[in-house]
A and B are shown apart, each in its own frame.
Chain A
């Protein structure tokens, strides 16, 4: 598959199809046994800060004593390295990320004290502070109520419009139409890729999910 910035791509497939694994492989979190990921014309061998990975909710240690601001500051570590002090530019980037996701008032909160939607936004803010261009989200809409899901949908649309590429695993076939531009259907291998409306045909759906 090939896609470009400004798009929102949904990864769709049954459980165990490898959606999470593909996301982690793109993010460089798991080694690839085969295949190649190319970004800006060159092959991506290891992690680069162009890619930000947002873990599935249950994979995060929510009771870790860290504030929202502390989490977003972690996004700057790739720039600052292990030792360099936070410069004014770093602080500005953190402020801007918090601001653009409406988290400025919540920056002193511990991460468990946020609602599900706010938690997603906190991790998105970290990705923005990192200045990532590719956002990889694992089941971002799972467990969100309707309002929070709508807000997150609008937010992703805005981030894509600003020139970022969004790739997210998703399991709801209906909402995929409104939330994403393109879809990759996979079931351990790639079955189809293209614009949502053209790709998600009833025939493909019944084949993939064996309904």
Chain B
């Protein structure tokens, strides 16, 4: 049965997409973990939904590019809106962000079924990696290349910006530009992961891999490459296992990554809860 599956072009495309998207998102999750803003990434991913819906509504077609611009626009609107509301001092920024993003998400859920697109609401929420076409594959590949190329070229200024923005700015690093770049690439990564895991679960792919690595090592570069490896291999393995287990592939990816995280949390050689070294250090 496995051989039959492997021979099918749908399945091959799904595996290739899982590998690309998993690796890129896993690599980029290093930046999400270093920026300490996993929760606002979650807000961002929910916000994308109405942006994409409005993008389709205006242009009449669904393409990865108007999805990207719609998502970017909605994310900016909600992000800046929550900052503006919080400036009134009556409402904390986290509170206003939570209010605005759930409202935006609800609007997206309401609009999408009314649109004449080929896909169902569930597809947007939880992904549908088995429906990946050749164009989708190329787009995932291009987005992945752009993100990997840009982050690797700018790794040093990006790390300086994240570690010590003041010092980085004094050394001539364009800190603002770096932060905008990270934001733009974050939205790109989210858009590319829509296909695989949908907007609700995309946070899992964009946080968990590097979070897992951070339990295992202190090397900064390992966060990126290790995150990419876990994201890529984990996604492919999850898609392969999802069939026999009768699970939808998108959730399977996020479940498997979550399990790996818990394993690392419990059994990590250095910081694991159950590692002998950790025991000795905290309970002498």
State whether A55 and B164 are in contact (beta carbons under 8 Å apart), knowing that A28-B170, A29-B169, A29-B170 are contacts in the complex: yes
Chain A contact surface mostly: loop
8 Å CB interface, A22-80 against B? 24, 27-29, 46-47, 53, 55, 60-61, 64-67, 70, 74, 77-78, 80
Chain A residue nearest in CB terms to B210: A65
B-binding residues in A (CB < 8 A):
24, 27-29, 46-47, 53, 55, 60-61, 64-67, 70, 74, 77-78, 80, 82-83, 108-110
Given contact pairs A28-B170, A82-B154, a sample of 14 additional A-B residue pairs in the complex whose CB atoms are under 8 Å apart: A27-B170, A29-B166, A47-B172, A53-B170, A64-B162, A64-B163, A65-B33, A65-B34, A65-B217, A65-B220, A74-B159, A77-B160, A77-B171, A110-B218
Report Cα–Cα, A83/B155, bound state, in Å. 9
Would B34 and A70 count as touching, CB distance under 8 A?
no
A28 to B218, CA, bound (A): 30
Residues of A within 8 A of B162 (CB): 64
Do residues A70 and B219 form an inter-chain contact, with CB atoms below 8 A? yes
The CB with the most chain B CB atoms within 10 A, among A24, A60, A65, A108, is that of A65
- Chain B interface SS verdict (over half): helix
Q: How far is the CA of A116 from the CA of B206 in the complex (A)?
A: 34
Residues of B within 8 A of A29 (CB): 166-167, 169-170
With A46-B172, A47-B170, A109-B218 as contacts: A74 and B163 at CB distance below 8 Å = yes
Q: A70-B220, A82-B154, A82-B157 are in contact. Are A61 and B170 (CB under 8 A)?
A: no
Answer whether A66 and B170 are a contact pair too, CB < 8 Å, given A77-B156, A82-B157. no
Size class of the contact patch on chain B: 20 to 34
| B223 CB within 8 Å of chain A | yes
Give residues of chain B (158-190) contacting chain A, Cβ–Cβ below 8 Å: 159-160, 162-164, 166-167, 169-172
Across the interface, which residues of A come within 8 angstroms of B167, CB to CB? Answer: 29, 53, 55
Identify which of A28, A74, A108 contacts B160 (C-beta below 8 A): A74
Q: Is B245 an interface residue (CB 8 A)?
A: no
- CB-defined interface of B103-130 with A at 8 Å, one 1/0 digit per residue? 0000000000000000000000000000
**Which of the residues A47, A53, A66 comes within 8 Å of B220, measured between beta carbons?**
A66
For the complex, what is the distance from the CA of A32 to the CA of B162, rounded to whole Å? Answer: 24
In contact, B34 and A64 (Cβ under 8 angstroms): yes
Residues of B near A74 (CB, < 8 A) are 159-160, 163
Q: Is the CB of A78 within 8 A of B154?
A: no
Q: Which residues of B contact A (CB under 8 A)?
A: 33-34, 153-154, 156-157, 159-160, 162-164, 166-167, 169-172, 214, 217-220, 223
In the complex, what's the smallest C-beta–C-beta distance from A25 to chain B, in angstroms? 11
Q: Which of A60, A70, A78, A83 interacts with B171 by CB under 8 Å?
A: A78
Contacts of B166 in A (CB 8 A): 24, 29, 55
The residue on B at minimum CB distance from A74 is B160
Chain A residues within an 8 Å CB radius of B159: 74
Q: Chain A's nearest CB lies how many Å from the CB of B232?
A: 21
Task: A46 to B173: give the CA distance in the assembly, Å.
Answer: 12
**Which of A27, A46, A66 has most chain B Cβ within 10 Å?**
A66
Are A65 and B214 in contact, CB atoms less than 8 angstroms apart? yes
Contacts of B218 in A (CB 8 A): 65-67, 108-110
Instruction: Give min CB distance, A187 to chain B, whole Å.
Output: 24
- How close is B26's CB to chain A, nearest CB, in angstroms? 16
A56 → chain B closest CB, angstroms = 11
Contacts of A27 in B (CB 8 A): 170
Please give the distance in Å from B156's CB to the nearest CB on chain A.
5
Residues of B within 8 A of A67 (CB): 218-220
Tell me how far the C-beta of A106 lies from the nearest C-beta in chain B, rounded to whole angstroms.
12
Question: Which residues in B have their C-beta under 8 angstroms from that of A61?
Answer: 163-164
CA distance A77 to B172 in the complex (A): 11
B163 touches A82 (CB 8 A): no
Q: Closest CB-CB distance, A118 to chain B, in whole Å?
A: 15
For A47, the chain B residues whose CB sits under 8 A away are 170-172
Query: 5 A-B pairs, CB-CB below 8 angstroms?
Result: A55-B166, A64-B34, A67-B218, A74-B159, A77-B156
User: Which A residue's beta carbon lies closest to that of B30?
Assistant: A65
Best-buried of B162, B166, B223 by chain A (most CB within 10 Å): B166
Q: Which A residues are CB-close (under 8 A) to B214?
A: 65
Which 9 pairs between the two chains have the least Cβ-Cβ distance?
A110-B218, A47-B170, A28-B170, A29-B170, A29-B166, A67-B218, A66-B220, A82-B156, A77-B156
